Structure 1
Amino acid sequence: MKVNKIALLVGLTVLIPNLSFATTLEKVIKKDVLQCGVSTGIPGFSSTDSKGVWKGLDVDLCRSIAAAVLGDADKVKYIPLTAKERFTALQSGEIDVLARSSTWTASRDTSLGLNFAGVNYYDGQGFLVNKKLGITSAKELNGATFCIQAGTTTELNLTDYFKSTGMEYKAVTYDTSGQTIDGFKKGRCDAVTSDASQLYGLRIKMDDPESVMVLPEIISKEPLGPVVRQGDDGWFNIVRWTLFASLEAEELGVTSSNVQAMLKSKNPSVMRLLGTTGTAGENLGLKADWAYQVVKQVGNYQESFDKHVGQNSPLKIERGINKLWNKGGLMYPMPIR
């Protein structure tokens, strides 16, 4: 009797469950914790305080996803990763989502088996120098030595900039941002180049922050955002719309302090956001109050920005292009309807 091997294999596939086919959402719910990849320490984005508690804009994104999926923003296991480690950790399944100030580029989006789910901070590469050098512009950095973090877009951007300006430079590379600033402190380089937001964070780590300055030039586009694995559209949607919900809440004036009262709102957009009407939660495979939990437990985007990198933080970064679209910025949440 001839055996149809293809039919047999199909039958076995149906009969024998393969746990590797479980969606990320199912795995997170089963573990009852979100494994979130963060940096090894970038002030304002993901770093620990004196008590070892993780805080920052990226950390708030991790907490928001946990609130949306598990109903508890504290159910997060933070996995600190270097720039070299981050994408491999996501590809291998060590983490469920990467929220580590990662730049959305064509090569990363198309060759690594990963998807960027949005942008939670629009940045650009800049330069941090010691004031005693007497430099006020990046155009005066010909022949300078730079401390840079390996495995980032920083290296290529620096090469492109100096090639286009006809200047020369030397580079000293490090694995972490902490090692990078330590090299700068010890005088192993004339300047540090990285995303401007990170430079403000590195600046406050200096023994005398007033002795250094961030130069005015921005030499690249660095759209930073959360990353997930390709092939799981449901999880991609959850991460993307959790970010949008935080922005939508700001746009609608829904905050952590008034969200309870807003449950009585008759504004159709607010009602859909908070789940008192519509099917947004159901469509994502989540409870109807998923976005309510995000705002209640973590806050909207403005609250996170001001607390961690804005005027209520040590960094005091201007909102700039990270303002909402209707206030002159680039942040444009897609409508929840």
Structure 2
Amino acid sequence: MRRPFRPAFALHLILPLLMATMAGSAHAGKVLDGIKQRGQLRCGVSNGVAGFSAADEKGRWSGLDVDICRAVAAAVLGQPDKVSYVPLNSQQRFAALQSGQIDILSRNTSWTLTRDASLGLLFTAVTYYDGQGFLLPRKLKVDDARQLKGAQVCTQSGTTNEKNLADFSRTHRLNIKPVVFDTYEAAFKAYFAGRCQAFTTDVSALSGIRNKEAPKPEDHVILPDLISKEPLGPLVRRGDEDWFTVVRWTVFALQEAEELGITQANADARRKTDDPAVQRLLGTGEDTGKLLGLDKDWAFRAIQAVGHYGEVFERNVGSRSVLKLPRGPNRPWSQGGLIYAPPVR
């Protein structure tokens, strides 16, 4: 006697195969689809912070944050120059991303719980570990931030710097008097004009201000004290996990490239290696791109466009830049730093 056909049993056999097939590819997501249709990535940057995002006299943008957008554009669109840069001040930056005016905010922005949990935005990865400090005239002979009791300190409104200054003053009972400005440029210009005894922001920015804006950089000193943690990184809107994943893994790809010794110059030659980790990253082994809605060469293009993370750092804020900042915590974890990328596999 023939046994009757059992649909439930057939589904039990077919469902695992169907799920496995679906897991092998990812939908691109509405933001990524829009970028591909437009042929351009819209990147929110600062109005001009040396080493991170600033335009020259010809309107060409450069900096660490700019290179992140260039790498994402290379991964997604095939060319790093397919980026429209939207300069934003501190008050504008989150609204521009929330409203869809930009696709990514790559603008020296600190990762905090409040920003991560209440703005409808997501931090994707840390691209620079920073901390807040103080810039002041050398002639004041101050060598400890706790000596700033009663001082007037210039800073920018709407930033973590403003809140950190208030916390530091209250904790140490310093009665610091903040002099607050709407823009970054107005704040540091007021400091150089003598309207306050010190200027406070992230140490990386202080180095740029001193080296590029001070009439005599040697007349100003950055105190060794750090009064906060400032992990900086790019943000995207909530609600499109596919786009979030693309941006996050582009950053991770640059960081893993440094671990594997893949540079902008040798990336093409390294594609001939037998190392499985290098093959995966450069698209000659497993096709990781299909999981992101991209092709297999996504990471290779990003690395060719800007180099690995160490190259991005040194060119923009490190030894090859005017800032001359040490790697410090921004070294790879294998060299005692905090830069640690999950494996691309």
TM-score range, shorter chain: over 0.9
Q: Distance in 2 between matches of 1:311 and 1:257?
A: 18
Which residue of structure 2 aligns with residue 311 of structure 1?
319
TM-score, structure 1 normalization:
0.93
Amino acid at match of 2:288: A
Q: Distance in 2 between matches of 1:176 and 1:318?
A: 27
For residues 52-71 of structure 1, the aligned pairs below 5 Å read: 52-71=59-78
Query: Percent identity of the aligned residues?
Result: 50
Which residue of structure 1 aligns with residue 271 of structure 2?
263
Q: Which moved more, 1:49-58 or 1:75-84?
A: 49-58
- What is the Cα deviation at residue 166 of structure 1? 1.1
SS in 2 for 1:194: strand
Q: Distance in 2 between matches of 1:227 and 1:46?
A: 15
SS in 1 for 2:321: coil
Moved over 4 A (4+): none
Amino acid at match of 1:317: L
Q: Distance in 2 between matches of 1:279 and 1:232?
A: 22
Q: Write out per-residue CA displacement over residues 245-298 of structure 1, whole angstroms, 9 at most, x where no aligned residue.
A: 000101100001001101101100000001111131010000110000011111
Which residue of structure 1 aligns with residue 335 of structure 2?
327
Q: Distance in 1 between matches of 2:107 and 2:54?
A: 11
**Which of 182, 189, 214 is the aligned partner of 2:222?**
214
SS in 1 for 2:253: helix
- What is the Cα deviation at residue 323 of structure 1? 0.3
Which residue of structure 2 aligns with residue 184 of structure 1?
191
SS in 1 for 2:236: strand
Which residue of structure 2 aligns with residue 157 of structure 1?
164
Q: Write out per-residue CA displacement over residues 45-94 of structure 1, whole angstroms, 9 at most, x where no aligned residue.
A: 00112332111000000100000000000000000000111000000000
Q: Write out per-residue CA displacement over residues 21-54 of structure 1, whole angstroms, 9 at most, x where no aligned residue.
A: x711011011100000000000000011233211
TM-score, structure 2 normalization:
0.90
- What is the Cα deviation at residue 137 of structure 1? 1.1
Q: Distance in 2 between matches of 1:212 and 1:101?
A: 23
Q: Write out per-residue CA displacement over residues 160-209 of structure 1, whole angstroms, 9 at most, x where no aligned residue.
A: 11111111111111222211111111111110101111111111111111
Q: Write out per-residue CA displacement over residues 131-186 of structure 1, whole angstroms, 9 at most, x where no aligned residue.
A: 11111110110011111011100111111111111111111112222111111111
Do structure 1's residue 201 and structure 2's residue 218 form an aligned pair?
A: no
For residues 253-292 of structure 1, the aligned pairs below 5 Å read: 253-292=261-300
Task: Count residues with an aligned counterpart.
Answer: 317
Q: Distance in 2 between matches of 1:26 and 1:165?
A: 51
Amino acid at match of 2:121: L
**Which of 119, 129, 141 is the aligned partner of 1:134?**
141
Q: RMSD between aligned alpha carbons?
A: 1.1
For residues 2-81 of structure 1, the aligned pairs below 5 Å read: 23-81=30-88
Residue ranges of structure 2 left out of the alignment (5+ in a row):
1-28
Q: Write out per-residue CA displacement over residues 290-323 of structure 1, whole angstroms, 9 at most, x where no aligned residue.
A: 0000111111111110011001111000000000
Q: Distance in 2 between matches of 1:213 and 1:41?
A: 22
SS in 2 for 1:79: strand
Q: Distance in 1 between matches of 2:80 and 2:215?
A: 34
**Which of 93, 107, 111 is the aligned partner of 2:114?**
107
Amino acid at match of 2:60: V
Q: Distance in 2 between matches of 1:260 and 1:176?
A: 43
